[in-house]
Structure 1
Amino acid sequence: MNSQPPTTTGLPRPGSAVAAHASHGLQHLPLPLFAAPMGIGGLGLAWREAAHVLGAPGVVGEALLLAAGLAWLLIVGLHLLRMLRHPEAIGGDLRHPVRSAFAGAATIGLMILAGGLLPYARDAAAAIWLVAAGAHVAIAVWTVRGLIRAPREAASLTPPLLIPLVGNILAPVIGAKLGFDVLSWMLFGLGALLWVLLQPLLLGRLITGPALPARLRPTLAILLAPPSVGALALAGLTHGFGTAPLIALGLAVFIALVLLSLLPDLASGPFAMSWWGWTFPSAAFAIALQQAAAAHPVAWQAPLLWAVLVAASAILAVVAGATLRAAAQGHLLRPEG
C-alpha cells in the first residue's frame, strides 16, 4: 500500500507514482511531433496567400500562424525538459535512422515562423530566419556525417530523410523576401543538389523494396514537398512564376496525382505520428498552385484552388484531431510500437 496520505488538493505529491509516471512518459515524447508546427504554419501561409489570390478571410492564416508559433514553443519547451530529465532518450532519437530526421522539422518550423512574423516585425523575422537557416545547415551536416560514418541499409532509407537535407530549399522562400538573395541562392543550391542525389536512392528503395512498414507509409507524402517548395523558392529568387518554377510545379502535380491514387492504401493504417507527413507538403502544394494561378490566370482556377486549400485544411484537421485524441488517451507518451 502507498504510505503517503492524500493531499488536501487532490494533486499528486512530488515523487508520487503519478508524478513518476508523468516524468517517465516524457521520456517517450516523439521527436516527430516537431512536424506539427511545421504543418500548421505551412497551412497558415497557404491561407495568407489565399487572402490575396482568392479573397479568403485573412484572419484564418494569421490565427494558424499564431497557433504554429505557440505549438513550436510548447514542443521545444517539452523537449528541453525531456533533455534535462532523459538525455539518453534524446540521444536515442538522434541516432535513430528515421526519427532523427525530424530534428530538421524543428528548424523548418522556425523558418516558417519567421515568414509568419515578417509582415509585423521584419528585423525580428530576419534574425529568426538566420538562426533557423544556420541551424538547419548544421543538422544537414550532422546527417550527412552520420550517413558517411555509419552507412545504412536500404530499409532505413525513408522519405523523412528529405526533411534535414532537402529542407534547405525552403530557406529561400522566406530569405528572398528578407533580401538575403545571395545566401538564399546558396541554400537553394544546397537543398536542390541534395534532393537530386537523394531522390534516386529513395525511389530505388521504394521500387525494389523492402516495403515501407504500415506506420511509415504516410511519409510518402513528404515526396510532394521538394518540388512544391522548390517552385516557390525559384519564384521568389527569380521574382516571378516563370519557366523554372513551372517545371518544378509540374513535377509536384504529378506526384500529387500519384499520392491521390494511393490515398486509400496510405490512409488505411492506424494513427501514427507519420500522419503529420501529409500536412506541410499539402499546404506547400496549395501555395505553389495559388502563386502559379496568380501569375498565369485562367477562368476555371478558383474552384480548383479552393478545393486544394480545403483538402489541405481537412488533412490538418484530421491529423491534429487524431493527435489530440492520442494525447488524451495517453498513447502519445508511450514507447514506439
Structure 2
Amino acid sequence: MRAPNLAVPGAGRWRRTPPAIFPPIMGLFGLGLCWRRAAEAGMLPGAVGEMILGGVTLLFLFAAFAYLAKLARRTTALVDDLRILPGRAGLAAMVLCVYLLSITLVPYWPVLARSVLFAGLVAHLGLVAVLIHVFVTGPAEQRRVSPVWHLSFVGFIIGGLAAVLLGMEFLALFILAATAIMATTIWAVSLDQFVREGVPAPLRPLLAIHLSPAALLGMVAARLGLVSLAQIFAVLAALLLGAMVLRLRWLTQAGFSPMWGAFTFPLAATGSLWLGLGGVWLWPGMVVLAAATAVIPAIAWGVLRMWANGQLATRTNAATA
C-alpha cells in the first residue's frame, strides 16, 4: 500500500497577511501629517513631512495589496480576522489609513482626495456592518467594549477631518457630533471596566488608543472654527497623555509586542492638534513631535520586521486564506 502524502502544502504568497501591520502604518501617516502641521505653523521645513507621507503612501498601498490578495483567496478570512482583537484593530486601522491617504492628497490632487474619502467611508461602513454581524453571532466576550472600539466606531472622525479640508463642512460637523457621542460612551464604559477589573499586561498598550479621539475631535473642531471646543479637547488630550507618561512602565510591562502599534498614531495626532492650535500649545506640540519622530519609526520597524520574518501572523493569530 502506498504511504499517504503528509507534506503540508506551501502557504503561498500573502495567504496569512496579518492585519496587525496596519496600526504602525497608521502611526507613520500620523507622523508625516504632524510634520506637515509643524511646517504650516512655520516651525519646520515642509519637505520632510511630504517625504514621510510619500514613503508611507507606498508602504500602505503595498500592505493593502498584500491583505486584499489574501481576501481574494478566501473572502471569509475577513470575518475570521475580525473575531480576534489584533485583527479587529488592524482592519479598522487599514480602513482609517484610507482617510489618512485622502488627507495626504488634499494639497496635491483634491479631486482624487475627495474620491478616496468617499471610498474610505464606504469601506468603513462595510467593515462596521461585518463587525456588528460578528458581534451578534459570536460569543459574548467578543462584544466586550475595548479601546479598539474607538478605531471601529469613532474612527469616522478622521474622515471628518478630510471632509473639512475638502470644504465639506456640513459632513464634517455631522461626523464630529456623532463620533463625539460615541467616544464619550466608550470612554465612560472603559473607565468603569478599568476600575472594576483592571487590564492584563499584554493588552495595556491598547489603552493609548483612548488618546486618539480627543486629539482628532479637537482637530476637526478647530478646523470648523469651534475654538473653545477644540481647547477643551486639547486639555483632555494633555490629561490623557500625561497619565500615560506617568504610567508608561505599567503600560509596557509585558515588553515589546505588536500591540505597541497602538502607541503610534495617538502620539502623532496629539502633536498635530497642539501644533494646529498654536499659542500655549505650540511648544508642547513640538515636544510631542520630537518624541513621535523617535518612537513611531522604531515601533513600526519592529512590527514590520516581524511581518517580514513571518512571526507577526503567528503572534497575532491572523487568519489563513
TM-score computed with the length of structure 2 as normaliser: 0.88
Is 1:139 the counterpart of 2:127 in the alignment?
Answer: yes
Is 1:253 the counterpart of 2:238 in the alignment?
Answer: yes
- How far apart, CA to CA, are the structure 1 residues paired with 2:136 and 2:234? 32
Post-superposition shift, 1:96? 2.8
> Deviating runs (4+, > 6 A) in structure 1?
none
Post-superposition shift, 1:91? 2.7
Q: Percent identity, aligned pairs only?
A: 27
The aligned residue for residue 122 of structure 1 is: 110
Give the one of 199, 205, 219 matched to 1:232: 219
The aligned residue for residue 298 of structure 2 is: 318
Q: Is the 8 A contact 2:135 2:142 kept in 1?
A: no
Post-superposition shift, 1:144? 4.2
**Counterparts of residues 156-167 of structure 1 (less than 5 Å):** 156-167=144-155
1:237-291 Cα offsets, whole Å, 9 max, x none, are: 22x6x21110111111100011111111222323322111111110010011111
Is 1:272 the counterpart of 2:257 in the alignment?
Answer: yes
Q: Against the structure 1 CA distance between its residues 149 and 291, is the aligned structure 2 distance closer, same or farther, given a 3 Å change threshold?
A: same
* AA in 2 matched with 1:216: L
Q: Is the 8 A contact 2:148 2:209 kept in 1?
A: yes
The aligned residue for residue 36 of structure 1 is: 24
TM-score computed with the length of structure 1 as normaliser: 0.84
- How far apart, CA to CA, are the structure 1 residues paired with 2:105 and 2:8? 39
Q: Is the 8 A contact 1:231 1:245 kept in 2?
A: yes
The aligned residue for residue 104 of structure 1 is: 92
- 3-state SS of the aligned residue for 2:312? coil
Where structure 1 has 5 or more consecutive residues not aligned to the other structure, the ranges are 1-16
Post-superposition shift, 1:54? 4.2
- 3-state SS of the aligned residue for 1:20? coil
Post-superposition shift, 1:66? 1.1
> Which segment is superposed worse, 97-106 or 305-314?
97-106
Q: Is the 8 A contact 2:23 2:89 kept in 1?
A: no
Where structure 2 has 5 or more consecutive residues not aligned to the other structure, the ranges are 1-6
1:98-157 Cα offsets, whole Å, 9 max, x none, are: 522432212211111111111111111111111112322333344345445557338943
- How far apart, CA to CA, are the structure 2 residues paired with 1:138 and 1:87? 14
Q: Is the 8 A contact 2:147 2:186 kept in 1?
A: no
Q: Against the structure 1 CA distance between its residues 152 and 314, is the aligned structure 2 distance closer, same or farther, given a 3 Å change threshold?
A: farther
Q: Is the 8 A contact 2:29 2:56 kept in 1?
A: yes
Q: Is the 8 A contact 1:44 1:61 kept in 2?
A: yes
- How far apart, CA to CA, are the structure 2 residues paired with 1:60 and 1:198? 36
Post-superposition shift, 1:69? 1.1
Give the one of 178, 188, 195 matched to 1:207: 195
* AA in 1 matched with 2:187: Q
* AA in 2 matched with 1:104: A
The aligned residue for residue 59 of structure 2 is: 71
Is 1:191 the counterpart of 2:179 in the alignment?
Answer: yes
Give the one of 188, 193, 209 matched to 1:222: 209
- How far apart, CA to CA, are the structure 1 residues paired with 2:42 and 2:259? 31
- How far apart, CA to CA, are the structure 1 residues paired with 2:306 and 2:11? 17
* AA in 2 matched with 1:311: A
1:192-221 Cα offsets, whole Å, 9 max, x none, are: 121122221212222211x43333211111
- How far apart, CA to CA, are the structure 1 residues paired with 2:75 and 2:142? 29
- How far apart, CA to CA, are the structure 1 residues paired with 2:164 and 2:75? 37
Q: Against the structure 1 CA distance between its residues 139 and 325, is the aligned structure 2 distance closer, same or farther, given a 3 Å change threshold?
A: closer
- How far apart, CA to CA, are the structure 2 residues paired with 1:130 and 1:331? 34
1:168-194 Cα offsets, whole Å, 9 max, x none, are: 122221111111112222222221121
- How far apart, CA to CA, are the structure 2 residues paired with 1:110 and 1:40? 13
- How far apart, CA to CA, are the structure 1 residues paired with 2:120 and 2:193? 31
Greater RCO, CA 8 A, separation 6+:
2
* Bigger radius of gyration among the two: 1
Instruction: Count matched residues.
Output: 311
